[in-house]
C-alpha cells in the first residue's frame, strides 16, 4: 500500500522542537503527511490519512465513553436558519461575527432566509428539543453528534490547532433540575480526563472560566487546559452549564410530577478532536518526529524485514507469519515490504511516530526470535516469537504510560506563585504559568483582567476546580481583597 506521496517523501526528520516549536510543527505536518496547507482557502486544510486515521480512533474512544454513559448519537443538518441563530441574545452576539452565510443556490436563486454553516449546534437542535421534551418522563435527554463546525477565526490559523472548519463532538443534554445539569458538567470533565489523559497521554488542569470568557448564552464554562511545548496553554474539551437560558429562549419546558410546566436545565460539551490531535502530536513529538500513543496510532506496529541477499523469500515469509499473529490479536500492524532499505524504513516510521517496530532477518529466523524497537525510548529488545503477542500488548501499555509520564514532568515546576504584575509578565516570558490572588471572576472584575492582558499578553484561565485552593492577600491588579486564586498563561 502506498502511504507516502512523492512530493513530500522524506525519511529523516531532525528539528529542534523545544527551541523552535512553530517551525517543528509546520514541518512535521508536511513531512509526516498530516495536513496539506496548499488547499487555497484560508483556514481550510485537508486532513491526510495519517492524521485522519488517528482522529478516527480518537473519536471512537470518546464515543465509546459517551455511549457507556448513556448518551446516544444523532446528526443534525450542517445549515441553520438565521432566525434560529438570533433567538438567544448573548449567543447571537458571540457567534455572528464568525458565521459563514449561504444566501444563494445554483445560478442565482436567492434563499428566502439565509442559512448559517453551524458554528455550534444549540440553535439547530434546541427548537426540536422543545418539541421532544414534554414530561419529566422524557428527561434526562442525552444526545451527541460527531460533525464539522465552521468559524471564521480572525487569529492566524494552523492545521488542527486552529482552523475555520474543525472536527468535534458536541453533546447536548436536558435535565429536570439544575443540580443534575451540574452533575453532567462534572461527568463531562471526568470524561475529558479519561479520554485526554488516560488515552491520549495529555495531562490537564481543569478550570472554571471567568464570566467574561464563558460560552455565549451559558451560565458557566468549565474547561481542561494542557500545556504546549512553547509554554502556552491550549483548551481541550470545554463543557457548559447553560442554566435555563436556552430553555427559556427555545421554549424547552416539561410537565413536572406536580403537573406544572417548567423550563428544563441544559448542558453542552464540545471536545474538538482535531484540536486535541494537534495538541497531542505537539506534546509527545520529539526532534525525530512524531511519537504517537499506542492506543491511537494508525499502525501500532510496523514490521521491517531485513533482507540479506537471496534470503528475501524466507524473510518475507517469516515476517508475514508475525503479521498474521499480531493481526489475529487485534493489533493494527503494517508490513513494509516496499523496495527501500531497512535503514530508510527505520527513519521513515520513526518520523511517522509508530510506537513499536518489529525487525526480523535471517539471524532471527534461526533463533525463532524478533527484535522489538520502541519509538518513545528508541530502545531495542530481542524476544522469543512465542512471547510476541503478549510482549507487544504489554509494551504498548508501557509506551503510553511513559508518554504521559514525560508530559506530566513538563507540568512540574511550571506554576509560579506571583503577587505583582511585573512578576506575572516575567513568569510568562519564561514559559511558565502564574498563579495569583485575584479580586473576582464575575463581570465586575473585567477591568482587572484587561489590565493583565495589556501588561502581560496573558489570559486568565479561571479558577481550578480539580484542586482546592483558598486565596490569600489582595488582587494583583486592584489591591482589593482577593476572592479567588486564578491562573494566568499565554494561550492558543
Closer CB to a copy of itself, residue 53 or residue 478?
Answer: 53
Q: How many residues sit in the footprint of a copy of itself (CB under 8 A)?
A: 67
Please select the residue that binds a copy of itself; options are 98, 157, 251, 401, rule is CB under 8 A.
Answer: 98
Query: Among the residues of 329-437, which ranges form H helices?
Result: 342-352, 362-367, 388-411, 421-429
C-beta of residue 274 within 8 angstroms of C-beta of residue 236: no
Site for a copy of itself, residues 39 to 78, rule: CB under 8 A: 39-41, 44-49, 52-53, 56, 70, 72-78
- Using rule CB under 8 A, residue 89 touches a copy of itself: no
- Using rule CB under 8 A, residue 187 touches a copy of itself: no
Site for a copy of itself, residues 305 to 344, rule: CB under 8 A: none
C-beta of residue 457 within 8 angstroms of C-beta of residue 490: yes
Residue 223 pairs with which residues in a beta bridge? 207, 238
282, 288, 294, 281: which is closest to 351 by C-alpha?
Answer: 288
Closer CB to a copy of itself, residue 100 or residue 411?
Answer: 100
Q: How far is CA 310 from the centre of its chain?
A: 48
Pairing of strands 220-227, 233-243: antiparallel
Contacts with 34 (C-beta within 8 Å, 6 or more apart), sequence order: 28, 47, 48, 50, 51, 159, 160, 281
C-beta of residue 417 within 8 angstroms of C-beta of residue 392: no
Question: Residue 47 and residue 118: Cα distance in Å, rounded?
Answer: 20
Question: Residue 146 and residue 270: Cα distance in Å, rounded?
Answer: 10
Minimum CB separation of residue 49 from a copy of itself in Å reads: 4
Minimum CB separation of residue 483 from a copy of itself in Å reads: 36
Closer CB to a copy of itself, residue 26 or residue 96?
Answer: 96
Q: Classify residue 261 by its DSSP letter.
A: E
C-beta of residue 37 within 8 angstroms of C-beta of residue 25: no
Site for a copy of itself, residues 144 to 173, rule: CB under 8 A: 148, 150, 152, 165, 167
Closer CB to a copy of itself, residue 79 or residue 325?
Answer: 79
Residues 20-39, one symbol each (x = binds a copy of itself by CB under 8 A, - = not), give: ----------------x-xx
Closer CB to a copy of itself, residue 7 or residue 18?
Answer: 7
- Using rule CB under 8 A, residue 102 touches a copy of itself: yes
Site of interaction with a copy of itself (CB under 8 A): 1-3, 5-7, 36, 38-41, 44-49, 52-53, 56, 70, 72-79, 81, 84, 96-107, 109, 115, 117, 124-125, 127-128, 131-135, 137-143, 148, 150, 152, 165, 167
Amino acid at each position: 500500500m502506498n502511504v507516502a506521496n512523492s512530493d513530500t517523501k522524506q525519511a529523516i526528520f531532525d528539528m529542534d522542537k523545544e527551541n523552535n516549536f512553530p517551525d517543528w510543527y509546520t514541518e512535521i505536518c508536511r513531512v509526516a503527511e498530516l495536513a496539506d496547507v496548499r488547499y487555497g482557502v484560508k483556514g481550510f486544510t485537508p486532513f491526510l490519512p495519517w492524521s485522519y486515521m488517528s482522529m478516527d480512533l480518537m473519536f471512537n474512544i470518546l464515543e465509546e465513553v459517551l455511549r457507556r454513559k448513556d448518551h446516544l448519537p444523532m446528526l443534525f443538518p450542517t445549515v441553520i436558519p438565521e432566525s434560529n441563530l438570533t433567538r438567544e441574545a448573548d449567543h447571537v452576539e458571540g457567534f455572528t461575527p464568525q458565521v459563514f452565510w449561504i444566501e444563494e443556490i445554483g445560478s442565482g436563486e436567492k434563499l428566502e432566509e439565509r442559512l448559517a454553516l453551524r458554528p455550534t449546534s444549540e440553535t439547530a437542535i434546541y427548537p426540536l428539543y422543545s418539541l421532544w421534551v414534554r414530561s419529566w418522563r422524557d428527561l434526562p435527554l442525552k444526545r451527541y453528534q460527531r460533525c464539522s463546525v465552521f468559524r471564521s477565526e480572525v487569529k492566524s490559523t494552523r492545521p488542527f490547532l486552529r482552523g475555520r472548519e474543525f472536527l468535534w463532538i458536541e453533546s447536548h443534554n436536558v435535565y429536570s433540575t439544575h443540580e443534575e445539569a451540574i452533575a453532567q458538567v462534572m461527568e463531562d470533565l471526568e470524561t475529558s480526563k479519561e479520554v485526554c489523559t488516560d488515552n491520549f497521554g495529555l495531562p490537564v488542569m481543569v478550570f472554571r472560566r471567568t464570566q467574561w470568557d464563558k460560552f455565549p448564552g451559558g451560565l458557566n464554562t468549565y474547561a481542561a487546559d494542557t500545556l504546549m511545548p512553547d509554554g502556552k496553554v491550549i483548551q481541550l474539551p470545554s463543557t457548559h452549564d447553560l442554566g435555563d437560558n436556552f430553555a427559556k429562549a427555545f421554549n424547552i419546558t416539561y410537565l413536572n410530577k406536580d403537573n406544572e410546566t417548567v423550563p428544563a436545565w441544559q448542558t453542552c460539551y464540545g471536545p474538538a478532536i482535531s484540536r486535541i490531535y494537534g495538541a497531542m502530536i505537539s506534546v509527545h513529538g520529539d526532534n525525530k518526529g512524531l511519537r504517537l500513543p499506542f492506543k491511537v496510532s494508525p499502525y501500532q506496529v510496523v514490521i521491517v524485514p531485513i533482507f540479506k541477499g537471496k534470503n528475501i523469500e524466507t524473510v518475507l515469509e517469516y515476517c508475514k507469519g508475525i503479521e498474521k499473529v499480531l493481526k489475529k490479536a487485534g493489533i493494527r500492524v503494517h508490513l513494509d515490504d516496499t523496495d527501500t532499505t531497512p535503514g530508510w524504513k527505520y527513519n521513515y516510521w520513526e518520523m511517522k511516530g509508530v510506537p513499536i517496530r518489529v525487525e526480523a532477518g535471517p539471524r532471527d529466523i534461526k533463533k525463532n526470535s524478533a527484535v522489538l524497537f520502541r519509538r518513545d525510548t528508541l530502545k531495542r529488545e530481542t524476544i522469543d516469537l512465542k512471547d510476541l503477542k503478549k510482549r507487544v500488548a504489554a509494551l504498548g501499555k508501557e509506551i503510553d504510560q511513559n508518554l504521559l509520564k514525560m508530559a506530566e514532568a513538563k507540568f512540574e515546576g511550571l506554576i509560579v506563585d506571583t503577587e505583582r504584575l511585573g512578576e506575572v509578565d516575567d513568569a510568562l516570558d519564561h514559559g511558565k504559568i502564574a498563579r495569583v490572588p485575584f479580586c473576582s471572576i464575575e463581570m465586575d472584575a473585567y477591568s482587572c483582567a484587561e489590565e493583565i492582558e495589556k501588561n502581560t499578553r496573558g489570559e486568565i484561565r479561571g479558577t481550578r476546580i480539580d484542586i482546592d485552593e483558598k486565596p490569600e492577600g489582595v488582587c494583583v491588579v486592584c489591591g482589593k481583597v482577593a476572592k479567588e486564586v486564578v491562573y494566568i498563561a499565554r494561550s492558543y
